[in-house]
Amino acid sequence: MKEYNITVVKTKNPAILKFESNHMLVKRQNYEFKNIDEAKNSPLAQQLFYLPFIKTVYISGNFVGMERYDIVEWEDVKDEVAQQLVEYLNAGEPVVIEAETDKPIAVTVYAEVTPNPATMKFVASKKIVGSMFEFKNIDEAKHSPLATQLFQFPFVKQVFIDDNYVSVTKYEVAEWDDITIELRELIRNFIAEGRDIVTTNAEPIQGNQAADPTQNIIQDELDDTSLEIIDILEEYVKPAVASDGGNILFKSYEPNSRTVNVILQGACSGCPSSTYTLKNGIETMLKNMMGDRVNEVVALNG
């Protein structure tokens, strides 16, 4: 059974908050409910409208958006609302009762090159997963129907899935000019058919192995420097790495040598330019922001 976690995300509108789930909540469309009558096909939205300050409920992909009335401030109630969502979702209650249909989901997929010549990023026009997943072989992909299907091709070496894209790393036996269209159409058709990208048993990659908020004991053991490094990686580095179809995880900080150890995944793993990026980008940034507390950044391929 899925275990849901909720992250609260601010929006440009101070009256609206997004409550992001680590799993997808709906597949086929976006929903907007302005009152409890409109929410008759969404048991979750109906329950939320029992909160007197909820004005509008939006449900899309992996998040629930809520607009409040001015009678409260989000800062006073957001934690309580997030906890209510976690309890509701982990109880296995339905989010939206979506009508079964044979009509394919409207989606487009385009191929995008990455700095790693062995990896191609296939970007969908809609969110496909709520967490990151990495599969290095068909055995690891047993809980991902999409990755399992991709591994049927002998030239597929590794699959990385996050947000709205799939990064495929190939063996040298094939050229992208010969296989890109076939891979793109397979991924597009898979999404359009509404099939599960991953199953409930798939284990996502945590945002930072040493700083997973669900692992409180581990996080409590981190020193202040490690926590500061994690914050910098999350805010400044990870978005840029994700745009290239990869991911970076904090592994450890060695205070004696002032060495930061990170793990590179997806398109970044084994990328010829990753060393340059590491030394001239990440390492330089950490040195500039943290002074003499950082001497070197060392990367391990995930």
Token digits for 164? 């709205």
**The pLDDT value given to residue 214:** 33
**Strand, coil or helix: 251:** strand
**Strand, coil or helix: 248:** strand
Token digits for 253? 């900080």
The residues with which 135 forms a beta bridge, in sequence order, are 159
Cα(68)–Cα(224) distance, integer angstroms: 36
- For 132, phi then psi, to 5°, come to -90, 145
Cα(241)–Cα(265) distance, integer angstroms: 9
Nearest C-alpha neighbor of 44 from the set 3, 84, 99: 84
**The pLDDT value given to residue 27:** 80
**The pLDDT value given to residue 217:** 32
Distances (CA, A) of 256 to 209, 259, 296: 21, 8, 12
**The pLDDT value given to residue 272:** 64
Identify the structural domains of the chain with CATH numbers, from first to last.
6-91 (3.30.1370.70), 109-193 (3.30.1370.70), 215-301 (3.30.300.130)
**The pLDDT value given to residue 240:** 78
pTM over 0.75: no
What is the residue-level pLDDT of the chain in tens, covering all 302 positions? 678 999 999 999 999 999 999 888 988 778 999 999 999 999 999 999 999 999 999 999 899 999 999 999 999 999 999 999 999 999 999 999 877 666 788 899 999 998 889 999 999 998 999 888 999 999 999 999 999 999 999 999 999 999 899 999 999 999 999 999 999 999 999 999 888 899 878 888 765 444 343 333 345 568 889 999 998 888 888 887 777 777 888 888 999 999 998 888 777 776 666 666 666 678 888 888 888 898 888 887 65
**The pLDDT value given to residue 282:** 83
**The pLDDT value given to residue 278:** 67
Cα(164)–Cα(264) distance, integer angstroms: 19
**Strand, coil or helix: 38:** coil
**The pLDDT value given to residue 222:** 80
Token digits for 156? 């597929």
